[in-house]
Amino acid sequence: MKSRDLVLGIIGVFIFTALPIVAAHVPVGSGNNDHIDTALEFDTPTKSWVIYEHLNSSAKYYHVDLDAGQRIVVNTFIPRREYSSGFVPSIVIMGPGLANSTTPPPAYIEKPVEEGGPGIYNGFYYVQGVMPAEPAYEPFTPASDFYTTNINWSINITGHYYIAVLANNMTGDFGMAEGYIEQFSFTDWVTIPFSLVTIHLWEGQNWFVIFLPLIGVIAVGIIFMVTRQVKQKKSPATLQGWLIGLAGLVIVGSGAMTLQQMVIAVVGTPVAAELLISLIFVALPILLGAVLFKNAFFVDQSFLTKDRIKIAVYGGLAIAIWAGFWVATGLAIAAAFVGLKRKAAADKK
């Protein structure tokens, strides 16, 4: 079996077996949710969402509509740079039928009112945040964060439920995960690489650090191709070859970015089997990108239709494994179409 066929087989097995059981949260953007009447609503409340926020007011508010028998699953966390700041997010869950907590929520927490009159929201449960001794590893980002609260309750009464995140009037960055069913729309899936960049910015990293592995791989790869041409006359011989080579470098570079984030996250963090998940998201882009890069040196003027289809498929696979930021896919598809009309004309002759 050729190496490229083996790589395609590995990626195919991953897509059709691993992806359906991926237990990752879908990132969602924040809004003007400093008051309960502008609470951010999760339109699919059981879907597993995650939001990254900056608490610069007394509280942030969220709203979910839940049916009896469903669960409300919420946890809050902070990045490692907030560990020594004293910023520890707590939550207040408000909704029908909830028992009041022994410790009442702070007086400044806004409370919802039933549309037909007061009285139904008689449950206000205050969960005070606790700073754990160690951060927890999250394999998909990858990242390590300190989780300060964790709620997983069954709902007995259908109705409107509200979540308030507070920190005793302190300001800081926090994340909140809500929901328990891992499901991704096509848009969710293909935009995750861009969401991961915003998460790392939220963690306190800068653009240069985040993209340094990608920049490094592309730079080294281009130097290799140019040097190979000068010394051995064996660089990509066509525009298609250069496009394919660059696509492969971008895909390998995105795998290197994930590797860097994994290394950053595991330092000082206890990890176990979940590290394997991160390694998969490192290995697949590197393998796929390497196959594309290798193909770049064997493309000539007789670039066949089957070869064009193969390169386009490689580009599509990059999206499936969160690699290449769409740039690699665009380069691969461009390579598949460059010179197509000229070749068709030549075939007719």
* pLDDT (tens digit per residue) in 93-130: 999 888 889 999 999 999 887 644 455 556 899 999 99
Tokens at residue 345, please? 């004309």
Q: What is the mean pLDDT of residues 90-94?
A: 96
Around Cβ 273, how many Cβ atoms within 10 Å? 7
**Share of the chain residues as helix, strand and coil, in percent rounded to the nearest 5:** 45, 20, 30
Q: How far apart are CA 161 and CA 155, in angstroms?
A: 10
71 to 48, 64, 79, 227, 271: CA distances (angstroms): 12, 11, 26, 60, 28
Looking at the DSSP bridge assignments, the partners of residue 137 are 144
Most confident of 42-51, 177-186, 296-305, 318-327: 318-327
Q: What is the mean pLDDT of residues 292-313?
A: 83
| 263 confidence band (pLDDT: 50, 70, 90) | very high
Query: Which amino acid is located at 298 in the chain?
Result: F
Q: Per-residue pLDDT for 12 more than 80?
A: no
23-183: CATH class: mainly beta
pLDDT at 238: 79
The answer to whether 284 and 11 are in contact (CB under 8 A) is yes
Query: Domain segments of the chain: what residues?
Result: 3-19+188-348, 23-183
Q: How far apart are CA 210 and CA 33, in angstroms?
A: 29
Q: Mark out the alpha helices in the chain (DSSP H runs).
A: 3-13, 186-203, 207-232, 239-266, 274-295, 305-320, 327-337, 340-348
The larger pLDDT score, comparing residue 204 to residue 21, is at: 204
Looking at the DSSP bridge assignments, the partners of residue 26 are 49
The answer to whether 204 and 195 are in contact (CB under 8 A) is no
pLDDT at 289: 96
Weakest-pLDDT range from 4-18, 212-226, 235-249, 299-313:
4-18
| 7 confidence band (pLDDT: 50, 70, 90) | low
Within 8 A by CB and 6+ apart from 103, the residues are: 126, 128
pLDDT at 226: 87
Read off the pLDDT of residues 126-182 as tens digits, 9 standing for 90 and up. 999 999 999 999 999 999 999 999 999 999 999 999 999 999 889 999 999 999 988
What percentage of the chain exceeds 90 in pLDDT? 62
Q: Mapped to the 3 state alphabet, what secondary structure does 271-290 carry?
A: CCCHHHHHHHHHHHHHHHHH
What's the predicted TM-score (pTM) here?
Answer: 0.87
